[in-house]
């Protein structure tokens, strides 16, 4: 649905690429403090070299930057810099910058084009693709936003070299998720090359990243507004994960860590409800066993939590319908579906307890 371009350096020939896609060479570049420091000088020099007129914006590197007050401040800077409808916005960073940049682009002058240049594994494989852009509200995450597809998604896995290992594992959770929900051969590939990918070795890294991006794009193309249940399958493991993240106040557990635990719960639930056979359950679990959690995080953020409290927190997931929890389950490895009927609390609690035993 979006044009996805992968390469190293992906910014080579950016001027010609923009022209091909009808984008002007007037670009607001949004960074967070980390991506500005790591990649800003080089990227802005490239833009100058390619004949761009650019302005840069920088936000603090934290989830709190996805806020209305941050957006409001940036609108002001853009207005003062005479940025108008003929400009576009290039978001350089992880999901925080991508979501905030997309939100600003969707609303500024009733919408200007956004180009995503993701620099985390999660952003390359998930958040930069699909056009969901949002800021947070004190009452909930991602509640205020738009569907605003990027004109271009520029993927360059070499940016990952500076990413902390914990972030690599966090992004890897979403990568594995695509194997589980949509592509068994890809899951086998990830199983075999897990170590090489997490060590950022080529060609496995690029294969894992680009395949994930294309799977997500394909799902989004078939169900853009989440109407027929297909896009919802991207939330495999996420119903459990959202409860864990809420309990960790979105600070002490990375999203992918919560998703890893959530996928273990969802595999057990799929098996316990009679959809996924025992051999597939065990194979799925053996893949998720490869994830490493920082010492203490798993214990404090999952193993020490009462299952009933976790279940209660899952109910605040905004994706609930009529206060029923919606679960994405697997029929088999590589095929997911959104379960329409209600799941008994007892079954959800049993899946959490099974997962707890798995991690203990
Ligand atoms: N729009 C969507 O469809 C979608 C999907 C999933 C997640 N999200 C959103 O994405 C956000 C999480 O994204 P994230 O995990 O990328 O987190 P993030 O943007 O906070 O990035 C994580 C950290 O890595 C740093 N960083 C980024 N690139 C780096 C690099 N190359 N080298 C070193 N450090 C680097 C950042 O500065 C930050 O400190 C959440 O707000 C979530 O809601 C959106
Ligand atoms: Zn996710």
* CATH 1.20.1090.10 residue spans of the chain: 164-359
pLDDT at 316: 65
Band (pLDDT 50/70/90 cuts) for residue 1 is confident
Is the predicted pLDDT of residue 166 greater than 90, yes or no? yes
Would you state the CATH architecture of domain 164-359?
Up-down Bundle (1.20)
Please tell me the number of the ligand nearest to residue 161's CA. Answer: 1
The per-residue pLDDT for range 281-330, each reduced to its tens digit, is 999 999 999 998 888 999 999 999 999 999 999 986 555 555 788 999 99
3-state helix, strand, coil in the chain (%, to 5): 55, 15, 30
- Pocket (CB within 6 angstroms of ligand 1): 32, 34-35, 38, 61, 63, 66, 93-97, 99, 119-120, 122-123, 126-127, 130, 132, 141-142, 159, 162-163, 167, 170, 255
pTM of the model: 0.96
pLDDT at 251: 87
Residue 132 neighbours by CB distance under 10 Å: 19
For CA atoms 79, 81, 87, 91, give the dihedral sign. Answer: negative
What are the φ/ψ torsions at residue 140 (nearest 5 degrees)? 175, 155
Is the predicted pLDDT of residue 101 greater than 80, yes or no? yes
Is the predicted pLDDT of residue 356 greater than 70, yes or no? yes
Q: What's the whole-number mean pLDDT along residues 320-348?
A: 89
b (16+ CB within 10 A) / e for 103-120: bbbbbbeeebbbbbbbbb
Using CA atoms, how far apart are residues 130 and 234, in angstroms rounded to an integer? 11
Residues whose CB is less than 8 angstroms from the CB of residue 11 and which lie 6 or more positions away in sequence, other chains included: 43, 46, 117, 154, 156
> What is the CATH topology of the domain spanning 3-161?
Rossmann fold (3.40.50)
Mutate to test the pocket of ligand 1, among 42, 63, 122, 171 (most ligand atoms within 8 A of CB): 122
Tokens of 185: 């051969």
**130 Cα nearest atom in ligand 1:** 3
Taking a C-beta distance cutoff of 8 angstroms, is the pair 164, 38 a contact? Answer: no
pLDDT at 319: 52
Residue 104's H or E segment, with its range, is helix 95-107
Strand partners, 58: 31
Taking a C-beta distance cutoff of 8 angstroms, is the pair 119, 92 a contact? Answer: yes
Helix (H, G, I), strand (E, B) or coil at 139: coil
pLDDT at 140: 85
Tokens of 130: 């699909």
* CATH 3.40.50.1970 residue spans of the chain: 3-161
Cite the active site residues. 110, 132, 174, 216, 226, 231, 235, 238, 242, 255
Using CA atoms, how far apart are residues 358 and 32, in angstroms rounded to an integer? 37
pLDDT at 292: 87
C-alpha 255 to ligand 1 mean position (Å): 9
Closest residue (by CA) to atom 11 of ligand 1? 95
The per-residue pLDDT for range 33-80, each reduced to its tens digit, is 999 999 999 999 999 999 999 999 999 999 999 999 999 999 999 999
The per-residue pLDDT for range 212-253, each reduced to its tens digit, is 999 999 999 999 998 999 999 999 999 999 999 999 988 899
What are the φ/ψ torsions at residue 94 (nearest 5 degrees)? -85, -165
pLDDT at 350: 98
Is the predicted pLDDT of residue 339 greater than 70, yes or no? yes
Q: What is the DSSP string of 235-291?
A: GTTHHHHHHHHHHTTTTSS-HHHHHHHHHHHHHHHHHHTTSS-HHHHHHHHHHHTT-
Q: What's the whole-number mean pLDDT along residues 199-208?
A: 98
Helix (H, G, I), strand (E, B) or coil at 2: coil
Band (pLDDT 50/70/90 cuts) for residue 259 is very high
pLDDT at 295: 84
Mutate to test the pocket of ligand 1, among 11, 34, 114, 162 (most ligand atoms within 8 A of CB): 34
Mutate to test the pocket of ligand 1, among 95, 105, 178 (most ligand atoms within 8 A of CB): 95
Taking a C-beta distance cutoff of 8 angstroms, is the pair 327, 336 a contact? Answer: no
The per-residue pLDDT for range 115-163, each reduced to its tens digit, is 999 999 999 999 999 999 999 998 888 999 999 999 999 999 999 999 9
Taking a C-beta distance cutoff of 8 angstroms, is the pair 252, 297 a contact? Answer: yes
């Amino acid at each position: 649905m979006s044009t996805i371009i992968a390469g190293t350096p992906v910014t080579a020939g950016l001027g010609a690429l923009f022209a091909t896609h009808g984008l002007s060479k007037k670009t607001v570049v949004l960074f967070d403090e980390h991506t500005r420091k790591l990649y800003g000088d080089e990227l802005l020099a490239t833009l100058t070299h390619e004949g761009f007129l650019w302005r840069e914006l920088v936000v603090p590197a934290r989830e709190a930057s996805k806020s209305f007050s941050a957006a409001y401040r940036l609108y002001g800077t853009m207005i003062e810099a005479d940025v108008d409808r003929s400009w576009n916005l290039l978001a350089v960073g992880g999901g925080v910058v991508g979501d905030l940049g997309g939100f600003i682009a969707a609303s500024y002058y009733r919408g200007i084009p956004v180009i995503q240049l993701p620099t985390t594994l999660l952003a390359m494989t998930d958040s930069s693709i699909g056009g969901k852009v949002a800021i947070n509200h004190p009452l909930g995450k991602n509640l205020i936003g738009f569907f605003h597809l990027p004109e271009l998604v520029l993927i360059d896995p070499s940016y990952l070299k500076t990413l902390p290992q914990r972030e690599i594992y966090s992004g890897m959770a979403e990568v594995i998720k695509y194997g589980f929900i949509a592509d068994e051969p890809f899951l086998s590939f990830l199983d075999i090359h897990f170590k090489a990918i997490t060590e950022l070795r080529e060609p496995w890294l690029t294969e894992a990243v680009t395949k994930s991006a294309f799977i997500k794009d394909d799902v989004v193309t078939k169900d853009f507004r989440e109407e027929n249940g297909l896009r919802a399958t991207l939330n495999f493991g996420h119903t459990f994960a959202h409860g864990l993240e809420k309990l960790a106040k979105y600070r002490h557990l990375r999203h992918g860590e919560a998703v890893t635990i959530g996928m273990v719960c969802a595999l057990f639930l799929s098996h316990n409800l009679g959809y996924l056979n025992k051999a597939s359950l065990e194979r799925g679990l053996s893949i998720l066993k490869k994830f490493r959690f920082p010492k203490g995080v798993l214990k404090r953020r999952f193993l020490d939590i009462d299952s009933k409290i976790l279940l209660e927190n899952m109910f605040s997931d905004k994706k609930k319908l009529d206060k029923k929890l919606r679960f994405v389950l697997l029929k088999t490895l590589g095929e997911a579906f959104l379960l329409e009927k209600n799941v008994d609390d007892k079954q959800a609690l049993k899946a959490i307890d099974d997962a707890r035993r798995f991690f203990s």
